[in-house]
Structures are given as structure tokens and as C-alpha cells.
Structure 1
Amino acid sequence: MFGNDFFWYEALIVLFAGIVHGTLGFGFPMMATPLFALFLDLKKAVLFTLFPTIAVNFLSLKRDNSFGEIWGAYRLLIASVIVGSIVGTNLLVLYDNAYYKLFLAGVILLYLNKERLHISLTHSVAKHPQLMTMLIGFLSGFVGGIANIMIPVLIILILELKLEKKRAIGVMSFCFITNKMLQVLIFGYHGNLNFENFSMILPLIFIAMVGFFIGSRLQDRIDEVLYKKILNFILWILSSYLIVSTFYM
């Protein structure tokens, strides 16, 4: 790995993505995947981010929450994410398609423009919380499987449920860990994960964790209002990137 011409570029990517994740409590695959995709195909870019993503999300969840607490309160959401992840990841592995990203962009833009289109999820979430949780959970797992970026759909639910920052980070981290562990199993089942690949990924896990600890020192300086503004801003940026990258990258 250290003889690889791209290693130091890869190391900088995961360090940067780890810092972002430590600061916001999410964002590692969102930052790392498109940067890896500049010199790797999407399937391999997803593969290289799996274990670092699991590592930083484990640290993120344990910082202010516990696995038992999050599972007990949000097991319906997590179970729905599992089903969606299985479907989406199998589609990515067997039928990789760059246009999958447009599906995710469409979901984000629909949510961001819901007031202009007179669409309200608040009433639906309040009236049918279990059904909406299952639908959004499945959708987040599905798009996480095919595009490796499940955070936009989860942000939609987090904002509608009005969760405070630390609990929101715990819920998102648990969902990310579940999604990525399923992807590891599915990539392995289809023969895409082997000892050679893992030996190349291993140093990146430790670098990502270093980035997380750097970023986590900044997290407590972000209040609830600013946090929600950051979430909405990221949705706009990400939807624009997904559309542009589909046709021009």
C-alpha cells in the first residue's frame, strides 16, 4: 500500500473526511466517496470507505450514546435501514449505474423544496410515525447501498423528528454502522473483498480515526441552531454535486 502512488492522496482524503465526521458527527462517506471516485470506479470507492466509516461511526456513537439505548428507541428505523441496505447494495454490486445518484438527488431536492411544493412531512410523521419511520429508513438504506451516501435521507427524518444534536448523531451513527457492515458482507459474498484489498484499507482506518479525534474537539462548539443550518446547507450542496457528477465527472 505504501508503495502505491495514490497512498498519500488516499491518506489525506480519509484524514479530511475523519475531521469532518468528528466535527459534525457524520459525513465520512459523503466526503470520502466522491474524492476516491476521482481515481477509482464507484464500486471500489465504496469498498475503500467501508471499514474507515464503520470505525469513525463507532467512535461517534460511543461518544455520547450507547448501542443498547439507540437500538431500544429506534430499532424500527434500524431494521428498515437493514432491509433497504440489502436491496441497494446488491443492486450496486450486480448492476452498477452512475444514474443511481440522480435518484438520491431527486429525493433531496424534493425535501428541500417541500414548502414551495406545499409538501409537508411533519403531519405524516406525527400522524403515522411508525410507517414514515419504516419508509424513510428503507429509503435511506437503499440509497446508502447504491450511492454510499445515506445521510441526506436520514437528515430529513432527523429534522422532522426534531431530535437534539447528540441523540441525532447517535441514531445516524448506528444506521451507518448497520449499513456498512451489511455492505461488507455483501461485497465479501460477491468476491469483491479479499485479503489484498483489506491490507490496503487497514492503514486508512487508523488515519480516519486520527481525523475523527481532531474533529471531535470542535463538535461541542456547534449549537443546535447552527447544527440544523449546517444540515440544510449540506443537503443543497450535496444534491447539486450529485447531479453535476452524474453527467460531467
Structure 2
Amino acid sequence: MDLEFIVLVSIILLIASFVHGVAGFGFAIIPTPLIALFTDIQTAIVLTLIPTLVVNLVSFLSEGNTISAFKRFLPLALLVMLGSAIGTQILIFSDSNIFKLLLAFVILFYLFANKINLTIPTFKTHPKSTFVGFSLFAGLMGGLTNVIGPILMIYALEAKYTKAELIQAMNLSFLLGKIIQIVLFSINGNFNTEQLTFSFASILLISFSLYLGIKVKRKIDTALYLKLIKIVLFIISIILIFQYFKEA
């Protein structure tokens, strides 16, 4: 990696860690499509794996009640991890651009449905199967694109999670998803020394920015928080569509 690329990635990670601190999510969502504009998707995921692991753990712990939250959201996280394992394995052996486009349209559909107060009936009629389906699909998209958050946010918003519940459910799911990605990338030899060195060094880079974001988050009320989530979802979908057509 040349110096210019390292500086660019460092700036992106600083911004992403602050946003994650404020929103409780977004560290993998924001930098992956941006870094992938300058390299391939696998490299973007590898560079963000270790810091994402740390950020997710800190965010999960920062909400308190960690033992009860762990027990409550472990089934969700395990299903996400299974989906992530499948998606990562597909990513290693095939191109994933079409899945970015699919994810973008899923996000836009949800935002449109939410705007006109159109509910997704399966959340009420088939809550268990919807839970399993959304969890596996979120993990699959996470493995393919490093973007788990939007699908989980759709589920969490429909399930009426509180801000703290949403943050802990998402971060525990991200945490287990990242662990299985690290295992699979390691087994398949997708890490190199330079990438690993940068990935570990970036932990120091993001720590202060994450801390500032968490301080800001505690001053934001729930209504504003939900509005910010939907704005971020829209921005992510536009980035994913742009990236797909840029690489097509």
C-alpha cells in the first residue's frame, strides 16, 4: 500500500469511527464502499476487519446490561454469523457487485414503504420465520458486501427496539459476523502482513474518534436518532448503486 492510499483509508476510518460512536453502527457500512472505490471489495473488508471487531465490542459494552443483552440477542447474532459464513465463502470465490445493487434496492424499498406507512405484514403474521430470514439474509449480505446494518435496522425498527437494544443487537451480530470472516479469510489465505499491520495499527487511530462519537450519542434523543438512521440508510443505498455502476 502506498502512502497516499494509507492516508486516504485513515481519514475514512476516522470519520467512520466517529459516526459509529454517534449512531452505534456504521463503522463497516461507511468505509467499505468508500475504500472499495479505490480497491477491490475483499481488500476493503480485510482492512476494516480488526478495527471493526474492536469498535463493535466497545459499542456493545458501552450500552450497559451486557450479560442480559448478550443472552437476548445471541440467537440473532448466531444466525447472522451463519449467514456471514456463507456470504464470505461466496465472496472469496466469486464477484459480489450484483449483491451490492440488490442490497441498495432493498434499503430503498424499505424507506419508501416506511414513508407511506406501508408495513411488512410478515413481521406480525410470521414473526419467527421473519426473524430467521432477516437474520440469515443480513449475515449473507454482510459476508458478501460487509454491510449487515441496513437489514438488521429494518428488522429492529419493525420490532420496535429501543435505541440501546438496536445498538447492542447490531453490534453483537457484527462482532460474531466479523469473527467468522476473520477465520474464513485466514483459512483461505486472504490476509497479508501489510494489511494486517495496518488493520491493527488503525485501532489506535480510531479510538479517540470513537470516544468522541459516543459522547455525542448520549445527547441525542430517540426521535432524532431514528431520523438519522433513515438518512444514513438512504446515503448508503446511493453509494452502493454508484459503486455498482462504476465497477460494471
TM-score between the two structures when normalised by the length of structure 2: 0.92
Residues 167-176 or 91-100, more deviating: 91-100
2:18 equivalent to 1:15: no
Tell me, in whole angstroms, the C-alpha distance in 2 between the residues paired with 1:201 and 1:86.
Answer: 21
CA shift at 1:119, angstroms?
5.4
Where structure 2 has 5 or more consecutive residues not aligned to the other structure, the ranges are none
User: Partner letter of residue 221 of structure 2?
Assistant: D
Partner of 2:158: 160
Where structure 1 has 5 or more consecutive residues not aligned to the other structure, the ranges are none
CA shift at 1:79, angstroms?
2.0
Q: Determine if contact 2:19/2:213 at 8 Å carries over to the other structure.
A: yes
Tell me, in whole angstroms, the C-alpha distance in 1 between the residues paired with 2:128 and 2:70.
Answer: 15
Partner of 2:110: 111
Partner of 2:232: 234
Which of 149, 173, 176 is the aligned partner of 1:151? Answer: 149
CA shift at 1:69, angstroms?
1.9
Count of matched residue positions in the alignment of Structure 1 and Structure 2: 247
CA shift at 1:189, angstroms?
0.9
Three-state SS of the structure 1 residue aligned to 2:113 is coil
Tell me, in whole angstroms, the C-alpha distance in 2 between the residues paired with 1:118 and 1:202.
Answer: 44
Tell me, in whole angstroms, the C-alpha distance in 1 between the residues paired with 2:58 and 2:209.
Answer: 12
CA shift at 1:40, angstroms?
1.6
Partner of 1:74: 73
User: Partner letter of residue 58 of structure 1?
Assistant: L
Partner of 1:187: 185
CA shift at 1:82, angstroms?
1.4
CA shift at 1:213, angstroms?
0.6
Q: Determine if contact 1:55/1:209 at 8 Å carries over to the other structure.
A: no
> What aligned pairs does 1:31-70 form with structure 2 within 5 A after superposition?
31-70=30-69
Partner of 1:196: 194
User: Partner letter of residue 125 of structure 1?
Assistant: F
User: Partner letter of residue 156 of structure 1?
Assistant: I
User: Partner letter of residue 148 of structure 2?
Assistant: M
Partner of 1:178: 176
1:170-228 Cα offsets, whole Å, 9 max, x none, are 11110111111111111111101243321122111221222101111100111111111
Three-state SS of the structure 2 residue aligned to 1:35 is helix
Tell me, in whole angstroms, the C-alpha distance in 2 between the residues paired with 1:35 and 1:230.
Answer: 20
User: Partner letter of residue 30 of structure 2?
Assistant: M
CA shift at 1:169, angstroms?
0.6
Three-state SS of the structure 2 residue aligned to 1:120 is coil
Tell me, in whole angstroms, the C-alpha distance in 1 between the residues paired with 2:56 and 2:207.
Answer: 10
Q: Determine if contact 1:65/1:167 at 8 Å carries over to the other structure.
A: no
TM-score between the two structures when normalised by the length of structure 1: 0.92
Q: Determine if contact 2:37/2:243 at 8 Å carries over to the other structure.
A: no
Q: Which runs of 4+ in 1 moved over 6 A?
A: none
Partner of 2:130: 132
CA shift at 1:117, angstroms?
8.8
Which of 203, 212, 219 is the aligned partner of 2:210? Answer: 212
CA RMSD of aligned residues (A): 1.9
Tell me, in whole angstroms, the C-alpha distance in 2 between the residues paired with 1:148 and 1:33.
Answer: 7
Three-state SS of the structure 1 residue aligned to 2:198 is helix
Partner of 1:100: 99
1:82-107 Cα offsets, whole Å, 9 max, x none, are 11101111111110232220111122
Q: Determine if contact 2:96/2:145 at 8 Å carries over to the other structure.
A: no
Tell me, in whole angstroms, the C-alpha distance in 1 between the residues paired with 2:134 and 2:29.
Answer: 18
Tell me, in whole angstroms, the C-alpha distance in 1 between the residues paired with 2:176 and 2:16.
Answer: 19
Q: Determine if contact 1:76/1:130 at 8 Å carries over to the other structure.
A: no
* CA separation of 1:57 and 1:116: change in aligned 2, threshold 3 A: closer
